[in-house]
Amino acid sequence: MLVFASSDKGGTGRSVTSCNIAFHLAQRDDVAYLDFDFGSPTAGAIFDIPRAERGIERDGLHTYFTDGITDPRHLDVWHATDRADLRGANVRAGRLSFYPGEMGGAEFAISDTATTRCAELLTRLDQEYSVCVVDLSAGRSTALEMVLAATAQPMMRAITTRWLVFHRWTRQHIVAAHGLVYGERGIVEIGASAGHDPEALRDAIRFVRIAVPNLKEHNPGQTAAQATWLFTYDEELRKLAVDKRLGKSRVLGMTPVEPVLQYREQLISDSDVSTKIANHATVEAFRELAARLSDDAVWEGM
Amino acid sequence: MVILGEVRTSLLHNSLPLPRDAVADLLSLRPGRQVTATDRPINRTVSPETVIGVDCAIASEPRVRARGIGTVAAHAVVVGGLVAQASARVRLEWTADRERKPWAHYARRRGVVEVLGGVTAEQVLAGYHRPGRQADTMDLGAVCQRLLTQVQGRPQLDHRTGLRTRPTSLRWTAVAREDERPSVRLHIDDEVQRTLQVVVPPDLLGEAARFCEDLALHDWLYTALGNVVGQAERDMAIGADPMGVLNAALSLLVRLWMPGAHVDLALRPLWQELETTPGFTESWDRQVAWMRDQVSMRTLSALQEARH
Ligand SMILES: Nc1ncnc2c1ncn2[C@@H]1O[C@H](COP(=O)(O)OP(=O)(O)O)[C@@H](O)[C@H]1O
Ligand SMILES: [Mg+2]
């Protein structure tokens, strides 16, 4: 299964959330994480791999697409990470392989060669890993266009492909996420012109709401007026989401606001929860996202 | 005389084994050139040879400046309609030349790379086997990968994954020595990378590649089966059903195990050496028996449950 992580805006939580999803999937399956955010590869920092913090120096994914190398480098996260609590946390975990981008990499011009190479790489890795998570950059990027073209090729038709669109729980983010999927030069439109069946493509897209405040939580510092406003406005956002076709049936899940992630981009492990540093609800949200991602029932046609 | 080679092995990207004629079609990579096939004891089809011109640095240890000019010979192999291999090799010949000759000279000598510079055979062998390839030196792995990608992308395949497996790569060297018994040393570098050193009498040097391909095939089968057992155990530990992966592996992989079947008689003793240490077939058989036990126990208890 291939999972493409996209978002209209930068800073939505796409990378952090998809890294955490990959981490949970890898507890029982072999998982690859590919950093296609060529302009700002950050996944190395999220996995706590110092030597790939802002991408690696050579032979990464960028060079694979631009320079014709056949084997982009990859790192075994369990071995390469600095976090001892991830290493050996689960003796039966699957592999978690990280394919980093490159320092000083940038977006490159999309070409037939790059698209073919993309299809070849994704097909090859899909044969090897149960799940490949691909972090695309924000907006209508080269990476997005390239994978839409690649996945439309006959060679890739048989591969299960799922799309995630990450957005924050605000008015602008909802409108922007709508635009990225349904709008002009959006995923569905670009996909259709690349040869995808637009309906099937739409059915393979789910939204993920990031850092959604929990209004039910008791908050002693809050005035009655504030609480009422928040409830009313939250309800309005819900309506807007339904109008914009980001409603419940198209949502894979949500993540709560996590203080740790407000300070540091990282994986949230069970030990972060048991030391009471991170919230239990956050790990549960990531776990649920991972479970629903691989649950076929969730992805049946609308 | 020295040969450097690499073999990459992976599962053919098709839901079921490909029939022999379809394999022949698949491997007809060059119009007008025939594939070669043997059917006994199991189908093994080899694509026509391709040659790739090279003029590049050659890795050595300790590092000495050395240049190689000539051609790499490569072919693809499909065994049992199921396993795809790409195999690349060069025979090294030392020359006193200091300049490149006209290409026609090298083009005539398929699979021969002439070595310029003061590097010794020992240094080249050590350089080839050192972990991690030296940057910007001759890369047989890339040749293999391109060929494998070409084969795996062919329209004869349905591109459905019957079983998830990891490709492996085996880097080998063969050295010809007079009056020496054939010998072999296999080293498992990591989960997917192996190195192999073979010594043979000069008249058998040409057969070494076939032996290495056969060993790469069995090493891949062995690795794939080990991963299947690991996956099944992981499934069982969390109460998931391991039958899918066990059945797929039993039905696809098991009948391919025939060490030495396609190897020249004179080189079969090399297999016997490997069967003693590390011992392949014995532990293969044990793994297969374990898998069959799991399947029959589960089938039995499913039947009993159905009766109640
Ligand atoms: N659930 C959350 N709660 C609080 N902050 C979050 C949450 N998820 C992500 N973040 C933070 O949001 C910021 C942007 O996330 P990042 O994954 O880098 O975004 P993107 O990849 O979309 O650009 C980071 O600082 C990250 O730690
Ligand atoms: Mg990011």
Measured between CB atoms, which of A71, A128, A155 is closest to B166?
A: A128
Paired tokens of B49: 């040879």
Percent of chain A with pLDDT strictly greater than 70: 100
Report the alpha-carbon distance of residue B115 to residue A26 in Å, rounded: 47
Q: How close B142 comes to chain A (CA, Å)? A: 6
Closest to A244 in 3D by CA, of A161, A179, A200: A179
Closest to B125 in 3D by CA, of B180, B56, B60: B60
Report the alpha-carbon distance of residue B197 to residue B270 in Å, rounded: 11
Size of chain B in residues: 308
- Ramachandran angles phi, psi of A57, nearest 5°: -80, -35
Q: Which CATH architecture has domain A2-294?
A: 3-Layer(aba) Sandwich (3.40)
Report the alpha-carbon distance of residue A40 to residue A136 in Å, rounded: 10
Paired tokens of A15: 């990378």
Residues of A in contact with B166 (CB under 8 A): 128
Whole-number Cα distances in Å, B208 to A62, A119, B27, B287? 37, 35, 22, 29
- Amino acid A5 reads A
In A, minimum Cα distance to B149 occurs at A120
Q: Is B233 on the interface with A (CB under 8 A)?
A: yes
Beta carbons of A285 and A253 less than 8 angstroms apart: yes
Residue B254 pLDDT = 95
Find residue A3's DSSP bridge partners.
A133, A162
Among the bound ligands, the one closest to the CA of A285: 1
Paired tokens of B251: 């039905």
* The model's pTM: 0.95
Q: Cβ–Cβ contacts within 10 Å for residue A41, how many?
A: 26
Q: What is the mean pLDDT of residues B83-97?
A: 97
Q: Which of A59-63, A161-165, B43-47, B83-87 has the lowest mean pLDDT?
A: A59-63
- Ramachandran angles phi, psi of B139, nearest 5°: -125, 90
Residue A14 pLDDT = 97
- Amino acid A206 reads R
Kindly indicate the confidence band of residue A302, based on its pLDDT and cuts at 50, 70 and 90: low
Q: What is the mean pLDDT of residues B17-24?
A: 96
Beta carbons of A254 and A285 less than 8 angstroms apart: yes
Report the alpha-carbon distance of residue A20 to residue A283 in Å, rounded: 9
- Amino acid B149 reads T
pLDDT exceeds cutoff 90 at A292? yes
- Amino acid A213 reads P
Percent of chain B with pLDDT strictly greater than 70: 100
Check CB contact under 8 Å for A124 and B155.
no
Q: How close A169 comes to chain B (CA, Å)? A: 35
Kindly indicate the confidence band of residue B175, based on its pLDDT and cuts at 50, 70 and 90: very high
In A, minimum Cα distance to B159 occurs at A155
Percent of chain B with pLDDT strictly greater than 90: 82
Closest to A7 in 3D by CA, of A149, A162, A174, A161: A174
Report the alpha-carbon distance of residue B77 to residue B73 in Å, rounded: 13
Residue B12 pLDDT = 97
Q: What is the mean pLDDT of residues A142-162?
A: 95
Q: What is the mean pLDDT of residues A14-28?
A: 96
pLDDT exceeds cutoff 90 at B306? no
Report the alpha-carbon distance of residue B13 to residue B213 in Å, rounded: 19
Cα torsion angle, A180, A184, A188, A194, sign: negative
pLDDT exceeds cutoff 80 at A88? no
Measured between CB atoms, which of A70, A127, A155 is closest to B161?
A: A127
Which B residues, 152 through 181, put their C-beta within 8 Å of a C-beta on chain A? 152-153, 155, 158-161, 164-167
pLDDT exceeds cutoff 90 at A71? yes
Closest to A274 in 3D by CA, of A265, A266, A283: A283
SS3 content of chain A, % helix, strand, coil (to 5): 45, 15, 35
Average pLDDT, chain B: 94
Q: What is the mean pLDDT of residues A100-125?
A: 92
Q: What is the mean pLDDT of residues A258-266?
A: 97
Is-cis flag, bond preceding B278, omega within 30? Answer: yes
Check CB contact under 8 Å for A123 and B141.
no
Give the pLDDT confidence of A41-57 residue by residue, as tens digits.
999 999 999 999 999 99
Average pLDDT, chain A: 94
Looking at residue B42, the DSSP 8-state letter turns out to be S
Query: Got the DSSP string for A154-221?
Result: GGGTTS-EEEEEEEESSHHHHHHHHHHHHSTT-HHHHHHHHT--HHHHHHTEEEEEEEE--TTS--TT
Report the alpha-carbon distance of residue B111 to residue B51 in Å, rounded: 7
